[in-house]
Chain A
Amino acid sequence: MDAQLLSNLWTATLETIYMVSVSSLLAAVFGLPLGLLLVITGARGFLPNPSVNQGLGWVSNGVRSLPFIILLVAILPLTRLIVGTTIGSTAALVPLTLSAVPFFARVAETALLEVDPGLVEAAEAMGCSHWDIVRKVLIPESRPALVLGLTLMVISLVGNSAMAGVVGGGGLGDLAIRYGFQRFDTRVMVYTVVILIALVQLIQWLGDSVAYRLRRTGNVAPSPGWTNPLTRLRKT
């Protein structure tokens, strides 16, 4: 492998990691409160509000129904407004984050709805305020599911970031298209695909093991057929 190729792969990997990690962080920061709002204003929530709930639902579905490549170019003016440029990895952060926020909001909503209503009842009986219920019951109790949802979102962002080449964002996907596909350089194609697979495996493994640790099952078997990825790794 020559030095030029190695340097290209290294730069592209760092660009992908940069785009995915920053947009994941932002999407989690904005998506979780939205997911909470969806649960709280929902029919079973403690502040039911059909118009807010449905409005949020419409917006979230609207953004999610746009193919990412279209979202990427459609919001270029917004991108310029926020980061001051429409090209480069940083410019790609805006559409990546925007696509992931409604995705994570829905995933968080599902995770939060899984919390046993009996726990909310118990908290209310203790005299907890709504805010107490959110931070002491809903979020801690749904942490394992939230982490798994976050993992799902990060992996989908890895996929979306491959399209960042359209706005000059670089990354592994861009490298594969320009060198592997357009220049018929099969080696580049193979290497990028291998790196992408390894990256996704690593993210999933991390997500699984964090969620397992948060599940607080102690020495009780969590579910049939489930083994902690950490112990699985140790055995091999």
Chain B
Amino acid sequence: MIVAGQDITALSGSDLRRARQQMGMIFQHFNLLSSRTAAENIAMPLEVMGYSRLRIKARVAELLSLVELEGKGDSYPAQLSGGQKQWVGIARALAADPKVLLSDESTSALDPQTTQSILALLKDLNQKIGLTILLITHDMGVVKRICDRVAILEQGKVIERGRVADLAAQPHSRLAQDFFPRLTGYQPRPDALLVTVAFRGEVANEPFIATLVQRFNIKANILNGAIETIGGQPVGQFQIELAGPDRYVALDYLTQLNLAVEVQDGRTAAEQFVDSNP
């Protein structure tokens, strides 16, 4: 595993400790020392690195104001709320100006509002000071909101990886299925097709449903749909039932438009066979 040009799995002892000082880590259960105040918790990585008392004091004050906890420096963790504890945890992780921030389920134990504000700060740090953040989560909402790239793990193996926006725009990808819930158990009518259309970016501005109706005389029935802004561009998915004699021609049109398409036919396999072999 390479971090900042250094293979950290090959390090040990003091080299490994120095490498770890270049990384910040935040945890699901905060892992603050109960015997230290908020300020003393934030100071800990600096003490370990041998900063002078004066420098520590200045840096801690800076960090407390970054996470908007001025005046809470002398509180013990038991006197802080869950959200405040995580803010202290973040300040501690940032204390030594890390190159990488590891977030291990850091918002899983928090209320939605605190989660939102923590994610906003992380995104800010990422964009303003170029801090790389490795975020471990099972909440796809978090991935959708702040991640650029994603790797999905199942039973210890990476089963999918890539840019979040790319994966979200492919309906068969695991990520897209988590982002956009599908209808379950819906059976299209015998004279119709259930089409799942996924799109992003400029294609999203193409009024393809209107075209289907006007050009191919299709009865389009939108069953399910959502559009999200992911990685700065619109990504969406619709499930549409297409009915009408020209429904197969319409399907070709959708495929040509480069809208990723998945189809479920209303006819049974036997009916399709009979129809295509008159």
Chain A contacts to B: CB under 8 angstroms: 116, 118-119, 121-129, 132, 136-137, 140-141, 143, 214, 216-220
Contacts and interface: CB of A to CB of B under 8 A. Distances in A.
B160 interface: no
Nearest to B22: A127
B35 interface: yes
Interface residues of B, number: 28
B33 A126 contact: no
Interface in B4-57: 14, 17-21, 23, 25, 27, 29, 31-36, 44-45, 47-49
B140 interface: no
Contacts of B35: 140-141, 143, 214, 216
A interface, over-half SS: helix
Nearest to B35: A140
27 contacts: A116-B31, A119-B31, A119-B33, A121-B31, A122-B25, A125-B20, A126-B25, A126-B45, A126-B96, A127-B18, A127-B20, A127-B21, A127-B48, A127-B49, A128-B17, A128-B48, A129-B17, A136-B33, A136-B47, A137-B33, A140-B35, A140-B36, A141-B34, A218-B76, A219-B79, A220-B78, A220-B79
A143 B35 CA distance: 9
B29 A126 contact: no
Contacts of B92: 126
A119 B34 CA distance: 10
A218 B36 CA distance: 12
Given A217-B76, A220-B79, A126 B27 contact: no
A214 to B, nearest CB: 7
B48 A132 contact: yes
A119 B92 CA distance: 13
Contacts of A122: 25, 27, 31-32
Contacts of A220: 78-79
A214 B21 CA distance: 29
Interface of B: 14, 17-21, 23, 25, 27, 29, 31-36, 44-45, 47-49, 75-76, 78-79, 92, 96, 102
A225 to B, nearest CB: 18
A123 to B, nearest CB: 8
Nearest to A124: B20
Contact of B75 (A119, A123, A143, A218): A218
Contacts of B36: 140
Contacts of B31: 116, 118-119, 121-122
B123 to A, nearest CB: 22
A108 to B, nearest CB: 16
A118 B85 CA distance: 15
Contact of B29 (A118, A123, A219): A118
Contacts of A123: 44
Nearest to A118: B31
B88 to A, nearest CB: 12
Nearest to A133: B48
A140 B29 contact: no
B79 A127 contact: no
Given A125-B25, A220-B79, A136 B44 contact: yes
A127 B96 CA distance: 11
